[in-house]
Amino acid sequence: MLQVKTPEEALRLIETEFSPIGGHTETVPLEAALGRVLAQDVCANEYVPDFDRSTVDGYALRAADTFGCSDAIPAILNLVGEVQMGEQTDLALPRGACAYVPTGGAIPAGADCMVMIEYTEDYGDGTIGILKPGAPGLNLIFRGDDVRPGQTVLHAGSVLTPPELGALAAVGQTAVPVRMPLRVAVLSTGDELVPPEQTPGPGQVRDVNAPMLSALLRQYGAEPVFYGIVSDDEAQLRRITAKAASECDAVLLSGGSSAGVKDAACRIIASLGAVLFHGVAIKPGKPTILGKAGNTPIVGLPGHPVAAYFVSKLFVLPLLARLEGRVLKNHPVRAVLTENLGANHGRAQINACTLSERDGALSAAPIRSKSGLITQLAEADGYLLIDRDCEGLPKGAPVDVYWNL
Amino acid sequence: MLQVKTPEEALRLIETEFSPIGGHTETVPLEAALGRVLAQDVCANEYVPDFDRSTVDGYALRAADTFGCSDAIPAILNLVGEVQMGEQTDLALPRGACAYVPTGGAIPAGADCMVMIEYTEDYGDGTIGILKPGAPGLNLIFRGDDVRPGQTVLHAGSVLTPPELGALAAVGQTAVPVRMPLRVAVLSTGDELVPPEQTPGPGQVRDVNAPMLSALLRQYGAEPVFYGIVSDDEAQLRRITAKAASECDAVLLSGGSSAGVKDAACRIIASLGAVLFHGVAIKPGKPTILGKAGNTPIVGLPGHPVAAYFVSKLFVLPLLARLEGRVLKNHPVRAVLTENLGANHGRAQINACTLSERDGALSAAPIRSKSGLITQLAEADGYLLIDRDCEGLPKGAPVDVYWNL
């Protein structure tokens, strides 16, 4: 008898039974840090920028010298010089004066704003007409506007994006402390499986799950460690599972779809630690097992590739995120169903679908697939979830589609 | 005077002025193919599976032998054997017989369906009671249901996902023909820039754009080639731009925010080929330049990191996708604005925002930022676009948020 959990209960168990593990860290150069998980908070040691900076091409001046000016009555200021890019300026503006500053240039002492060159006129006699009044702070970035010393720029646990690498560059953090990727064991079980490079004999099929799950782990940012295809032999499977659990941060057993192995996986996990649940009320994916050996999670995935894929997206990735203390972002888009879609009352249902856009409106066409047909999943653009209380959805119904496969 | 284009016009020009380039290909092993672009269609050479296969644990039988049976009146069949996983079965079912087949096992000759073990009873005397009638095809995957010889499994141009790698594994395509990544030159210009590892002197700032844009290119799947920080010297900039255009598939000039360099970038692109547009009606990002030297696109990006980032997301990535003939997927999510947001009538506006979820509803909080403050972009979860015809959005307005930074 399976101790079947709802998907919500399964996710809650993942949160309560596991917690962030310490993990090792390494330091990588900025150009290798994309997608890595920041291992510690990064604080700035300096001001960015370190000087008041213009955001426009134009004239630095005292706003008070231009109050009330207009096209008709320009304020006429003495041009006392020009600021060069990348240099500190020695200029100091007396009253009634201005200095040319290019975008990004340093503001001379005494000036409190920039007026864009478009609103000025160079009379050619050493004076500049200002046609629009300035205001203190106008068109300036002040010293430290971006970052001040001691300010936390990025928090530990961030999965580093291009803008975050930009922020690290801005504060000079070119050696980036990141977590070592989680090492996740992948074991395929089943006497019928042969490696993908081998031509299947009678009654045999290629192992799809190991390469697919390994790719999913890489995409997430973990390091897959393949322990090979294990035959339907309980002693052998126990030995290799125990080895994997001792060497890795998590273990994925996939396959074992024959009844003997299914039971064996449960017995093995129980003997190494504890089974947390066996069975999730979701279609496909019901025979999913979650257990642990010490603090190392062991997941028993369905053998059907499509089921194994969806179970991994829905439960394995959140489990890995839990171990790393990171927050996974995955927001669905709203689309309109192109046809009626039946569902099993009592079990949540995942359906692969294609997405198409017309006039800015998205349509989701469910892919009708027998469980296990990997080529049909490969054609999908995303998937939708149907609630367990739903008996099906009519054509035209709004659905939430997760489009990142 | 800038020849300002609307964003839509700019994207149309990208489509009409550039076309997919041949590009080199290489063959990589399956485990290195994630995220790569498939260089040619992949066809199957065989049936997957190569035999009729059970999708359940149970009994293979002739449906006709079970018509009309029920819990009360089981059909009683002779058990003639058991199919082993991974082996071809020699069993052939006579009328009135059944054979045990595990999930994934081969169906014996003569059987036309599987009845799940839950709906059977083993009487222990060599007969099995069938409590629920079968139907031809029930609980079977037929030979070739997944793939047949000659069938196109994946199309050239696909950006390979984990399920697609699974499909390649299923058909034994373990050496994968992929496009070489586009080589994209990154040049930073500006006398005020120092490399990120260097402490800026007076009037200097670190180069944020080169590492940030390089990461964005890697995230897309292109290979960034950094040509260094070029000072505001037109002859030097022309020489290096020409070299980059001759060596790479595309060139990104970033910075050059001082007036002299801005004009220089335009003159240089014009002298190497043609300027297609100078200026996009978008905020931030107005001073964007697109040109080409021969068929090699050259993009002049704004110097402000935030502007450079958004212009790259909105125009550079579609440009690269055009060169590779791939379709970029980016669907926004619907969220509710947390506060009023002003906009420039006449210019589309991009606003970074954070996203938060409560009770399944998403809220988007705009980040108020002076252009160029990279640390504020690093805090964002996504961005929203405000149409050029829009004068602003009230608190509570629905907005479309692109959440993949």
pLDDT tens, residue by residue, B8-48: 999 999 999 999 998 899 999 999 999 999 999 999 999 99
Chain A hits for B209, CB-CB cut-off 8 Å, are 166
Whether residues B203 and A154 touch (CB distance < 8 A) is answered with no
Give B146's contacts in chain A (Cβ within 8 Å): 372-376
User: How close, in Å, is residue B68 to chain A by CA atoms?
Assistant: 25
352-381 in A: which are within 8 Å (CB) of B?
355, 362, 370-378, 380-381
> Alpha-carbon distance B97 to A13, whole Å?
45
The residue among B160, B156, B333, B385 whose CA lies nearest residue A403 is: B333
β A205-206/A348-358 pair status: unpaired
Which of A30, A141, A213 faces B370 most closely, judged by CB atoms? A141
Q: What's the Cα-to-Cα distance from B315 to each of B281, B298, B376, rounded to whole Å? A: 13, 12, 22
How many whole angstroms separate alpha carbon A370 and alpha carbon B138? 11
CATH 3.90.105.10 domain residues, chain B: 25-43+156-179
Query: B271 is written with which tokens?
Result: 């002298």
Unique residue bearing structure tokens 């009708």: A368
Residue range B25-43+156-179 in CATH 3.40.190.10: no
Query: Does the distance separating the beta carbons of A51 and B102 come in below 8 Å?
Result: no
**Smallest Cα distance from B254 to chain A, Å:** 14
Q: Which of A147, A192, A377 sits opposite B163 (nearest CB)?
A: A377
List the structure tokens of A53.
Answer: 């900076």
Is 90 exceeded by the pLDDT of residue B233?
no
Q: Which of B304, B312, B353, B307 is nearest to B332 (CA)?
A: B353
From chain B residues 66-125, the ones with a CB under 8 A of any chain A CB are 84-89, 102-106, 117
Q: How far is CA B105 from CA A207, B56, B92, B158, in A?
A: 14, 9, 14, 33
Residue A7's nearest CA partner among A396, A362, A349 is A349
- In CATH terms, the superfamily for domain B7-23+180-324 is MoaB/Mog-like domain (3.40.980.10)
Cite the residue boundaries of each domain of chain A with CATH code 2.40.340.10: 333-402
Q: Where in chain B is the domain with CATH 3.40.980.10?
A: 7-23+180-324
Please name the residues in contact with A261: beta carbons below 8 A apart, sequence gap of 6 or more: A189, A190, A232, A234, A237, A255
Chain A residue numbers with beta carbons less than 8 Å from the beta carbon of B207 are: 169
CATH of span A25-48+146-179: 3.90.105.10
Chain A residues close to B309, C-beta within 8 Å: 162-163, 166
pLDDT band at B256 (very low <50, low <70, confident <90, very high): low
Superfamily of domain B333-402: MoeA, C-terminal, domain IV (2.40.340.10)
Would you say residue B361 has pLDDT above 90?
A: no
Contact between A262 and A256 under an 8 Å Cβ cutoff? The reply is yes
Residue ranges for chain A with pLDDT beneath 50 = 1
Per-residue pLDDT, B77: 97
A64 touches chain B (CB under 8 A): no
Lowest mean pLDDT among A144-158, A200-214, B89-103, B360-374: B360-374
Residues of chain A with CATH 3.40.980.10: 7-19+181-324
- A/B interface, count of CB pairs below 8 Å: 310
Predicted local confidence at residue B260, as pLDDT: 61
- Asked if A201's CB is within 8 angstroms of B88's CB, the reply is yes
**Interval B291-324: pLDDT, tens:** 999 999 999 999 889 999 999 999 999 999 999 9
**C-beta atoms surrounding B357 within 10 Å:** 11
Beta bridge partners of B254: B188, B301
CATH 3.40.980.10 fits A7-19+181-324, yes or no: yes
CA distance to partner chain A, nearest, from residue B172 (Å): 5
Secondary structure of A65-132 in HEC code, one letter for each residue: HHCCCCCCCCEEEEEEEECCCCCCCCCECCCCEEEEECCCCECCECCCEEEEHHHEEECCCCEEEECC
CA distances from A275 to A11, A283, A284, A317, B161 (A): 15, 21, 21, 19, 31
Which pLDDT does position B100 carry in this prediction? 96
CA distance A100 to B71: 94
* d(C-alpha A299, C-alpha A284), whole Å: 16
Residue B263 and residue B261: Cα distance in Å, rounded?
A: 5
Kindly report the pTM of this predicted structure: 0.94
Return the CATH number of A53-141, one of 3.30.70.250, 2.170.190.11, 3.30.70.260, 3.40.920.10. 2.170.190.11
C-alpha A86/C-alpha B134 separation (Å) is: 82
List chain A residues with CB under 8 Å of B372.
55, 141, 146
